[in-house]
Structure 1
Amino acid sequence: MPGEPSAVLAEFLVTERATVLQIVRGDLDQPAVETIPLGREELRRLVRDTLAVAGPTSRFRARDPSAWTEPLSMLIEPVTRHSAPGDVVWLVPHDVLHHVPMHALDTGAGPLIGRNPVCYSPSASVMRYCRTKSRPGRRQVLVYADSRPEAPLVHAHGQVSELTRLYAGRVTARGQAAATIGALTGDLREHPGGVGVLHLACHGYFTGDDPLRSGLLLAPGPDDDGLLTVERIMGMRLPTELITLSACESGISERHAGDELIGLTRALIYAGAASVVVSLWAVDDLSTSMFMGYFYGALAGGAPRAQALRTAQLLLRGTTRGDVVEHCRRSLAATGEDPSGQRRALLRGLADAHFAAGDFAAALAGYRELAGDGVPPGPRLLTATARARAALRHATPAPPDYDVPAFGHPYYWAPFVLVGDWR
């Protein structure tokens, strides 16, 4: 279409001895084919040992990202040779590469996302299917958040507020006990032509032995348990321009024969989504809330989806400790009455940001405020308070440093991927 940026398709095939990359561009008479000396077992070992596909994400956060970005960078080196900065890079992974945030791999001048907007699809044919379903006139926004009180996502309430502000007059928001499958079905029925955005800020889960039972945790309703499983989604109609899963492990899928992906992403596209934003691993609540603000701010400003995601990733990557302090303060000022616990979460995020910046006195004051607000302090708060007290007592005098990036590790900015139509 006129005015669209150029797109470069990069489709991978992992074999026993090497990975074959096929690159398609509009100005090429035939695909360019590259062979990369990374075979299946070596790739699986690298991903298993260095990425957050198994075990606690705390271990992933503690690891130097170069342990995986550097050895895997040869996968995208041919892509940069065959594309120009600013081109949309459309990646079709294969095998274990579905677990790799390839947009975070090193180009020699920073991550790929610093050079190009990036989108993904399970296959080239799926992308064609996604683009034919797009209807740009859809404007309604549906938001479902914090649906399980036993596992609260208190920063999700900030996402609801931000979406309501950005899309004033176009948002239907349901939280906690109101965020049911029945309510979702009814809201979609109110808009038979489809909706612009469906934002689901809730927990996701993955069952490796039965991927069809993977899904999202909505609130239990009178007629169901609230489990929005892959199997259930595939029986629904979800005509939507964009579905965003601000949830843990929402993008993980199980590979079956023929590389068919049986997972949330595939199910949502099958049900009618033109594009889906999902996460590759369990995500941090505060950084995700800030990320979603950046993402939807760019979308509301008119940016295409892939460009909006790129903007959000780069902004989050550069967010400083001082930015986190300001975010928490602004959010606290807007919180007001707070039965959800959002205020406590913001106070904790504020105190942690002070501690990370070396402002131990401010951190200790924040932890003490939390401990004295009538809620018995838990082990984590007691540990944080003791840590701040010890640091204040023993640290060498130095001015706090609020200019250091707070979310520079790929754990924070790299998990979210756009699958489907990049426009």
Structure 2
Amino acid sequence: MTPGPADLAAAIAVFEDAIAALDQALLDSPVAYLLGQQSRWVNLYDRAVTALLAAGRTADALAVAEGSKSRLLANLMGRGELPAPPAVPADLAARERQAADRLRALDATELAERGRNEPTGDGHRRVADRAAIVAELRAVWDEMAAHGPAAADYVALRRGDRPTAAGLLRLAGALPAGTALLSLFDTGERTLLCLLRPGAAEPLVMAAAIDQDTLLYDFLPNYEDEIQHGADHRALGRPLTHRWRELGRPLLGPLLPHLAGLDHLIIAPEGVYHQLPLHALWIGAADSAESQTTLIDHCAVSYIPALGLLERRRRREERDDAPAVVGRPLSVVLGYTNADPATDKGADERDIFLGEARAVAARLGVAPLLDQAANGAALDEAIQQPLRRLHLSCHGYFLPGDALASGVLLADGVGESAVYTARQFMERRLAVDMVTLSACQTGISGSLGGDEMAGLSMALLSAGASALLLGLWSVNAVTTAALMDRFYTLLDGPGGAEATKAETLRRVMLTLRDGQLIPPRLEFDLTDPRYFDPADPYYWAPFVLVGDWR
């Protein structure tokens, strides 16, 4: 017998009940259990999305898809410094804030210790402590929610509730004209694109024509070879095929007819797409005159781990003690490399890294912290105050086996080097409008389970940074220095910003790609260090803007 509408409605009800029960369990679950279970939920979310789309409830399908992403990061951000609505009595708000701070600290500590070899031995005590805090918070939240719709909305945010269809539609409606949201929902078997424009009653849902075998055994290996290991590939003189860029046609090609009128796209990736420069993929038809058109040719692109984080970002901005981000004094620039100045290569590297720091500092009107002055203690001291810009010109590291041990290489203050890790950032509170890590691989993340991605981006966002400018691979130092100088010139020059962060980054990338920032040097062999092709995305496309694009 063919299933009818009643059967579909019944199936949706079952899925929604299962997801609601799962959400209740999430709040009670320690971090280790939460992360260990995430990859098992994919099938439930996929079935729920499929049923909702079949019922024509596309906004609800988008809410379920986005609710499957970055749940731990959403919880950590939601329990940060958010103002309670005026209707909530001050003593009740204080009780809730104190308990939420304790829960956030407990979860952040457990997450920071994930991957360490040495056990702390106090796991059972933490589980008991966490259960007591959650019970206290549940009682406080029930009391708070009785104080009106605004208070109930606040509770949902603090509790870590998944985004609702109505909430995502409101979020899109509050965006500037010409800005849209794009959600990628990937189950490992299929990928859906959900495009939501301001004022739209429902998102537009499209299926990507991705063959998983081609993705895993063709596109991704080619990307790893030509981009993530790009310096070695070029030094060996191996030809560049740019095969990985063809992924854009089956993945993002369905968007092409719908980009008219857009000047900015906010992308919430999923799975392997977190690691790819989606803005640099070809989206034009292979046999057309626009075959090598990219997203960034059409509009500015910024990224967010999950669309629900945008709502948390907006609420944070409303706190009473929000930092002033206008004016040039509140910026800090650090520059460091452990390169040996006695060698030609080391001397050149020092000129580039420290020169970048000096140039950026000059644009921001501050004195840079260089060499041994650029150490972890100086960074800790700098972030005690609200900052407009925090720029680190240094080496970066990503450790696949322990992503939270990834970090940036700073001085140790006594003549040596030390890695300032993602764990250390997670333990801080950052009131920073934009953090720029021009180091290598600072935008790479590793999966903690499901779509929970760990690395510097997660650490900085959970600590409170509004926007991040990060590199997805080991970037070329010369082109990075030029890109950063131009970026800050346009964003923080004497005349003020000409455009948003996202649009400014787009303009600089296109200027670099078109050979206007650094002229091409194609007369040299590919193995010659002097060779430079600005159209190669290895040089112009490594940086991504995450978070607040304005």
Aligned counterparts of 1:13 and 1:309: Cα–Cα separation in 2 = 26
Report if the CA contact (8 A) 1:318-1:405 is conserved: no
Tell me which residue corresponds to 1:19: 191
Q: Which residues in structure 2 correspond to 1:4-403 (within 5 Å)?
A: 4-52=176-224, 56-58=229-231, 63-64=239-240, 66-108=242-284, 109=290, 110-134=293-317, 137-139=325-327, 140-150=330-340, 152-168=349-365, 171-189=366-384, 192=385, 194-221=386-413, 226-300=418-492, 301-302=496-497, 303-319=499-515, 324=518, 356-357=522-523
Is the alpha carbon distance of 1:254 and 1:119 closer, same or farther for their aligned partners in structure 2, counting shifts above 3 Å?
same
Aligned counterparts of 1:5 and 1:172: Cα–Cα separation in 2 = 38
TM-score when normalising by structure 2: 0.58
Q: 2:541 aligns with which of 414, 420, 423?
A: 414
Aligned counterparts of 2:311 and 2:174: Cα–Cα separation in 1 = 18
Is the alpha carbon distance of 1:245 and 1:3 closer, same or farther for their aligned partners in structure 2, counting shifts above 3 Å?
same
Is the alpha carbon distance of 1:154 and 1:119 closer, same or farther for their aligned partners in structure 2, counting shifts above 3 Å?
same
Residues 39-91 of structure 1 deviation map (CA, whole Å, 9 limit, x = unaligned): 54432323432113786313555554541222332322233333335421111
Report if the CA contact (8 A) 2:182-2:266 is conserved: yes
* Partner AA of 1:124 in structure 2: L
The alpha-carbon deviation at position 133 of structure 1 amounts to 4.1
Aligned counterparts of 1:97 and 1:52: Cα–Cα separation in 2 = 13
Residues 351-391 of structure 1 deviation map (CA, whole Å, 9 limit, x = unaligned): xx7x7447x9xxxxxxxxxxxxxxxxxxxxxx97xx99xxx
Larger radius of gyration: 2
Report if the CA contact (8 A) 2:208-2:254 is conserved: no
The alpha-carbon deviation at position 138 of structure 1 amounts to 4.2
Is the alpha carbon distance of 1:71 and 1:63 closer, same or farther for their aligned partners in structure 2, counting shifts above 3 Å?
farther
* Partner AA of 1:164 in structure 2: A
5+ unaligned residues in a row in structure 2: which ranges?
Answer: 1-172, 285-289, 318-322, 341-345
User: Number of residues paired by the alignment?
Assistant: 348
* Partner AA of 1:118 in structure 2: V
* Partner AA of 2:302 in structure 1: C
TM-score when normalising by structure 1: 0.74
Is the alpha carbon distance of 1:71 and 1:163 closer, same or farther for their aligned partners in structure 2, counting shifts above 3 Å?
closer
Residues 223-242 of structure 1 deviation map (CA, whole Å, 9 limit, x = unaligned): 99632111111001221111
* Partner AA of 2:313 in structure 1: C
5+ unaligned residues in a row in structure 1: which ranges?
Answer: 326-352, 361-382, 389-403
* Partner AA of 1:42 in structure 2: T
Aligned counterparts of 1:153 and 1:265: Cα–Cα separation in 2 = 26
Report if the CA contact (8 A) 1:204-1:248 is conserved: yes
Aligned counterparts of 1:418 and 1:242: Cα–Cα separation in 2 = 10
The alpha-carbon deviation at position 221 of structure 1 amounts to 3.4
The alpha-carbon deviation at position 102 of structure 1 amounts to 0.5
Structure 2 counterpart SS, 1:207: coil
Structure 2 counterpart SS, 1:29: coil
Aligned counterparts of 2:185 and 2:510: Cα–Cα separation in 1 = 29
Does 407-416 or 11-20 show the bigger shift? 11-20
The alpha-carbon deviation at position 305 of structure 1 amounts to 0.6
* Structure showing the higher helix proportion among its residues: 2
* Partner AA of 1:251 in structure 2: G
* Partner AA of 1:26 in structure 2: P
Structure 2 counterpart SS, 1:97: helix
Report if the CA contact (8 A) 1:316-1:407 is conserved: yes
Aligned counterparts of 1:65 and 1:141: Cα–Cα separation in 2 = 41
The alpha-carbon deviation at position 408 of structure 1 amounts to 1.2
Give % identity. Answer: 30
